[in-house]
A and B are shown apart, each in its own frame.
Chain A
Amino acid sequence: MEQNKPRLFAVLIKAMLLFGLFNFAFIFTHNIPFGKLSLYNIVFLGRERFPFGETKESYNLSLFDLDAMFASHVLAGTTKSSNEYRVFLVGDSSVWGTLLTPEQTLAGQLNANPISACGKTIKAYNLGYPTISLTKDLMILDQAQQYQPDMIIWLTTLEAFPKDKQFASPLVANNAERIQHLIAKYDLNADPNDPALIKLSKQKQTFLSQRRTVADLIRLQIDGALWASTGIDQIYPKDYEHAQTDLEASDDFHGIKNIKDALAIDVLDAGMHAAPVPTLLVNEPMLISNGKSSNIRYNFYYPRWAYDAYRQQLNQLAAAQNWHYLDLWNLVPAREFTNSAIHLTPSGEALLTNKIAEAIQTTCK
């Protein structure tokens, strides 16, 4: 009996060895898409929009695992019916719906009243994500192809275009392998070894280094229970700072002198051809301020010269390429913006919804 007693030293050594082995073996799981394992759409409802959030009270969190983001989306759990005209809405936080409930977003309002296109009922899916970069949108578009879209609506704005901003979104920077794949697949004019793309060394792929990623995946599932139980996925403060209308007297735009050469048009072109279905490009509405220095700038983001040049270039490009294109830059009055020059109120979203619904029906009669 005495011989069967565990020996402290042996227990400690075995524990350390086992942990070391597990930690090392974890490196080989790097390419396994654990994010696809999800309780969403099985145990509880999928999310109406991608997980994004920094506070516990929003029952949401930001993570960089695109598989997990899609797996948590209601899209991943919805079988396409023969009567469904599936529309994907891609874009930044204005599409995602900052300060808006899922029903108040563009997707929510498009789905609120049944609209027909091609003899089917339109069902819109919110694939917006709150950082501004064309490459981020392309990455989502590329991943979304497997969910059988009938139409893509890509809402964007000048802030997403500068070449040096393409990898600034944390979602892009932390998906280096996906971005390298996109660069090769669409022949993008970008450096696959750009230092902004975070590449994990073998040492950084161990369990110890990746514990935050694992914890985020688990928390995403736990937050799913709270989302399903409350329908809350962001905080809606009663008071917030409204978008700036008195602006700095500066005409600087990311230090760019010539807009024409500074925009990632190749990424836009790739996105427009990413899906074998109609893609509608929308220059999204923005706040046109009427305050201090508004003769120099339209809003916090854009000096007038840069934005005018961008619009002109985009209009010419869309015409030359025969793209479905809507320039809705001045559709929404200034009072219908919330905490940013691109975030709309529910009424502002309603104005946009009418235009987009018309465009969908025009594209597919």
Chain B
Amino acid sequence: MGLTQIAASILAALLVGAVTRGAWRTYSLLVLSVLAVYWFQPAIPLRSFDFWLPSLSLTLVILIWFITSQAGAWKSRQNLIGLSIIIGIATLIDLSRYIFSDPLLLATTPPQFIQYFIFIIIGTVIILALTRLSRTTAWTLSFSIILLLAILIVLKSPTLSLQTSIFFRTLAHRPIDNASALDLRWLGFSYIAFRLIHILRDKQLGRLPELTLPEFATYVVFFPSLSAGPIDRAERFAKDLQNEFILTQDETLLAGQSIVIGLFKKFVIADALAYIALNDALATQVHSTGWMWIHLYAYAFQIYFDFSGYTDIAIGIARLVGIKLPENFAAPYTKSNLTQFWNSWHMTLTQWIRSYFFNPFNRWIRGYKSIPSWTMILIGQLATMLLIGLWHGITFNFILWGAWHGLGLFLQNRWSDFAKTRFTTTNSRLQTAMQIGGILLTFHFVALGWVFFALSQPVLSLQVFMKLFGI
């Protein structure tokens, strides 16, 4: 989100928060969120993909709502209104090509209406087929999860993204020489997919509350958290949406405070640090150890202020419309061990992974009584952190980053067990010194991990490590 989009979001949220009540608030938020899905989508070299990708996001939302809702739920007034809002806005945006000389909300001209019409027909047939033939069976739910994971894998894998781009370019009779893995920049899909998987999984486990389509769709593509999270839980979000909300002076001030802090973090601190933060070019250009550490520290703080700044802005804007999005960061660089760090960094993602991977995985692996407990811990930590790494991208460097943290968490777990009976002290000075030492050690472990995260190639990471340690 750029400053213009943030400013427009704030104004729209203020208006909705101040004027609308009850169901109208939900409908208004759905309208804004659907508009944002199209507006926030960046331009893509593939023709009309800045229309098709948001349309696919919305199609997936409708499809999964149909799958997870009760039979015939779509006939209710609320759901029909929700369906009309989504399809109506998409249709209007497509038809705008015949009305305005410049594209409306999109970076490029939307596709011809006939193409859009065929898309709607195909989408409707798929939704009807899936819902009528096998409504809410375990198979449909599992298939949907696999479908979302498959799309995620394609988007996150540079090779598969490139091949997909080549496929679509070939289909459109366009030259493939310019094809790039970056052609498929699908705004917010990582977050959309994780929210949808959470809904599907909760449905499988029988703990998903019934949501109307407007509530469901607003939750998945809620405009403040569309591009950078946080990943809320559906039932908590819906509760906020169903509660009566009046935008008071206090709420506005608190929201404003969050937005201003977020803007300062992102556009002043993070954007300034971005100039000197470690990147591929600096990895080869910097020759001194001291400067390499400075660039690494700059990256560590840049990524924190950038991400937490966006989260603060999202939390602030959401607050204006009565939605209390969860916090994503809790001073992570002040934590004295790696477990605490991961409990305070991108908290909503780690909670999601804990709920839907780590805990089930641990329960499963404990079934194997022959495996020693330390091995179980190692496998559990490594698998979890590798998954978090892969969520950021299927590349060697993200795998190394995940492995770095997985091993770190394992070593810290073993050390804690070892030390808790041997190194206890009542001396407050010693405790403080150990606390400070722990913070510094944890920060530097995390910062060194960013070497993998910031760079594109393991060989560059190795070069940086060598320079950092004067080798």
Known: A222-B276, A226-B276. A5 touches B281 (CB 8 A): no
Within 8 A of A (CB), among B231-286: 249-250, 252-253, 256, 272, 275-276, 281-282, 285-286
Known: A222-B272, A222-B276. A8 touches B253 (CB 8 A): yes
Tell me the nearest residue of chain A to B250, going by C-beta. Answer: A5
- Contact status B295-A229, CB under 8 Å: yes
Q: Verify if A230 is at the interface (C-beta below 8 Å from B).
A: yes
Tell me the nearest residue of chain B to A222, going by C-beta. Answer: B275
Q: Verify if A219 is at the interface (C-beta below 8 Å from B).
A: yes
Q: How far is the CB of A56 from chain B (nearest CB, A)?
A: 8
Q: Verify if A185 is at the interface (C-beta below 8 Å from B).
A: no
Q: Verify if B113 is at the interface (C-beta below 8 Å from A).
A: no
Q: Verify if B424 is at the interface (C-beta below 8 Å from A).
A: no
Within 8 A of B (CB), among A211-236: 218-219, 222-223, 225-226, 228-232
How many inter-chain residue pairs (CB < 8 Å) link A and B? 38
**One of A218, A222, A230 near B285 (C-beta < 8 A):** A230
Within 8 A of B (CB), among A126-163: none
Within 8 A of B (CB), among A1-22: 5-8, 11
Q: Determine the distance from Cα of A232 to Cα of B291 in the docked complex, in whole angstroms.
A: 14
Tell me the nearest residue of chain A to B249, going by C-beta. Answer: A8
Q: How far is the CB of B334 from chain A (nearest CB, A)?
A: 25
Residues of B within 8 A of A (CB): 249-250, 252-253, 256, 272, 275-276, 281-282, 285-288, 291, 294-295
Please, which residues of chain B bring their CB within 8 A of the CB of A218?
Answer: 272
- Contact status A230-B282, CB under 8 Å: yes
Q: Can you list 24 A-B pairs, Cβ within 8 angstroms, ordered by A?
A: A5-B250, A7-B249, A8-B253, A11-B253, A56-B275, A57-B281, A222-B272, A222-B275, A222-B276, A223-B275, A225-B275, A226-B275, A226-B276, A226-B282, A229-B276, A229-B286, A229-B288, A229-B291, A229-B294, A229-B295, A230-B282, A230-B285, A230-B286, A230-B287
Q: Determine the distance from Cα of A219 to Cα of B277 in the docked complex, in whole angstroms.
A: 14
Main SS of chain A's interface residues?
helix
**One of A5, A7, A219, A228 near B275 (C-beta < 8 A):** A219
Please, which residues of chain B bring their CB within 8 A of the CB of A5?
Answer: 250
Q: How far is the CB of B170 from chain A (nearest CB, A)?
A: 31
- Contact status A229-B282, CB under 8 Å: yes
Tell me the nearest residue of chain B to A56, going by C-beta. Answer: B275
Q: Determine the distance from Cα of A222 to Cα of B270 in the docked complex, in whole angstroms.
A: 13
Please, which residues of chain A bring their CB within 8 A of the CB of B250?
Answer: 5
Known: A219-B275, A223-B275, A226-B276. A8 touches B252 (CB 8 A): yes
Q: Determine the distance from Cα of A218 to Cα of B295 in the docked complex, in whole angstroms.
A: 18
Q: How far is the CB of B435 from chain A (nearest CB, A)?
A: 31
Residues of A within 8 A of B (CB): 5-8, 11, 56-57, 218-219, 222-223, 225-226, 228-232
Tell me the nearest residue of chain A to B298, going by C-beta. Answer: A225
State the 10 A-B residue pairs at the shortest beta-carbon distance, nearest first.
A229-B291, A230-B285, A8-B249, A222-B275, A225-B276, A229-B286, A8-B252, A8-B253, A230-B286, A6-B253
Please, which residues of chain B bring their CB within 8 A of the CB of A230?
Answer: 282, 285-287
**Which of A218, A226, A232 has the largest number of chain B CB atoms within 10 A?**
A226
Please, which residues of chain A bring their CB within 8 A of the CB of B252?
Answer: 8
Tell me the nearest residue of chain B to A230, going by C-beta. Answer: B285
Q: Determine the distance from Cα of A11 to Cα of B294 in the docked complex, in whole angstroms.
A: 39
Q: How far is the CB of A5 from chain B (nearest CB, A)?
A: 7
Please, which residues of chain B bring their CB within 8 A of the CB of A228?
Answer: 291
Please, which residues of chain B bring their CB within 8 A of the CB of A7?
Answer: 249
Q: Determine the distance from Cα of A11 to Cα of B254 in the docked complex, in whole angstroms.
A: 12
Please, which residues of chain A bring their CB within 8 A of the CB of B291?
Answer: 225, 228-229
Q: Determine the distance from Cα of A57 to Cα of B288 in the docked complex, in whole angstroms.
A: 19
Q: How far is the CB of A2 from chain B (nearest CB, A)?
A: 11
- Contact status B272-A232, CB under 8 Å: no
Q: How far is the CB of A236 from chain B (nearest CB, A)?
A: 12
Known: A223-B275, A226-B276. A232 touches B249 (CB 8 A): no
Please, which residues of chain B bring their CB within 8 A of the CB of A11?
Answer: 253, 256
Q: Determine the distance from Cα of A225 to Cα of B297 in the docked complex, in whole angstroms.
A: 13
**Which of A7, A219, A230 has the largest number of chain B CB atoms within 10 A?**
A230
Tell me the nearest residue of chain A to B276, going by C-beta. Answer: A225
Please, which residues of chain B bring their CB within 8 A of the CB of A222?
Answer: 272, 275-276
Please, which residues of chain B bring their CB within 8 A of the CB of A223?
Answer: 275
Q: Determine the distance from Cα of A223 to Cα of B281 in the docked complex, in whole angstroms.
A: 14
Tell me the nearest residue of chain A to B273, going by C-beta. Answer: A222
Q: Determine the distance from Cα of A8 to Cα of B14 in the docked complex, in whole angstroms.
A: 13
Q: Determine the distance from Cα of A226 to Cα of B291 in the docked complex, in whole angstroms.
A: 9
